[in-house]
Amino acid sequence: MSAEALLFYVFALCTVVSAGAVVLARGPMTSAMSLVATFFFLAGVYALLWAHTIAVLQVLVYAGAIMVLFLFVIMLLSMTEPEPAMKLNVARVVGALSAVGLGAALIASFWKLPTQPMGWAEDSARAAAFGTLKTVGEIIYTRYLLPFESVSLLLLAAIVGAVVVAKPRI
């Protein structure tokens, strides 16, 4: 087993275990910390895929900014009582359906995997450029410009929504 494969299994196992801990832990703070660990191990998997930019962004955005916001909210709510038993409502059904859908989409992607090794290790020019900030930036601003801009529109809508919710009278 090569070192990459060994590292991959370490990262993958840790990702799955800590992701399970997010769902199964009783305290919200323990869940949140397991989520931080999940993001870090996932960043390790990205780094093994030579996607350095994505790996760093994963840590920067999720483990950094978003997790701090999560912790902030948990601190403000200070949930000491355990949540009551789950009841079925519309939000839960929709959530479960989207989880199943996402799982199905991920499993379906297994059939799209290339059967032959891609041989990128031999292609040094491609290996040097792949996953760097320059390449990712170029692709985002040319081929995937529309999805990129629609995501920023979504974020703008979220900001406007937050302001409206927080301040009824502006």
Partner 1 sequence: MQETLDRLIREVLHEDPQVWAGSWVVYAAALLAVGFGLTVFGALVAGLTSWWERRIAARMQSRIGPNRVGPQGTLQFLADALKLIVKEDLVPPESDQMLFRIAPYFVMTGFALTFVVLPFGYHLSATRMNVGLFYLIAVTALVVVGIMLSGWASNSKWALFGGMRAAAQVVSYEIPGGMLALVPILMAGSLDLHEIIRAQGGFPWDWFVFQTPWGFIAFFLFFATQLAEGNRTPFDLPEAESELVAGYMTEYSGIRFGYYFLAEWGNLWVMSAVISTLFLGGWQVPFVSAETLAGWEAAGTVPVAFYGVSTAVFVTKVVVLMNVIIWVRWTLPRIRVDQMMSVCWKYLVPIGMGLVLLAALTEVLSFQLFGDAAKGPAPLGTPRGALHLAFFAVAGAVPTVLFFRKIFRNIRLTGDRIDLTNW
Report the site for partner 1 in 81-120 (rule: CB under 8 A).
none
Helix, strand, coil percentages in the chain from 3-state DSSP, rounded to 5: 75, 0, 25
Q: Which of residues 47-76 bind partner 1 (CB under 8 A)?
A: 52-53, 56-57, 59-60, 63-65, 67-69, 71-72, 74-75
Residue partners of 42: CB distance under 8 A and separation at least 6: 11, 15, 58
Question: Is 24 a residue that touches partner 1 (CB under 8 A)?
Answer: no
Rounded to a whole number of angstroms, the minimum distance from the CB of residue 142 to partner 1 is: 18
User: Smaller CB distance to partner 1: residue 45 or 63?
Assistant: 63
- Cα–Cα distance measured from residue 136 to residue 1, given in angstroms and rounded to the nearest whole number: 30
Contacts 24+ apart (CB under 8 A), 11-16: 11/41, 11/42, 11/44, 11/45, 11/48, 12/41, 12/45, 14/41, 15/41, 15/42, 15/45
Candidates 16-24, 85-93, 105-113, 131-139 — which segment interacts with partner 1 by CB under 8 A? 131-139
Task: State yes or no: residue 133 binds partner 1 (CB under 8 A).
Answer: yes
In angstroms, the Cα distances linking 48 to 11, 15, 131, 168 are 10, 14, 11, 47
Nearer to partner 1, 19 or 74 (CB): 74
Closer CB to partner 1, residue 7 or residue 12? 7
For partner 1, the closer of residues 60 and 97 by Cβ is: 60
Residues of this chain that interact with partner 1 (CB under 8 A) are 3, 27, 29-30, 33, 36, 52-53, 56-57, 59-60, 63-65, 67-69, 71-72, 74-75, 132-134
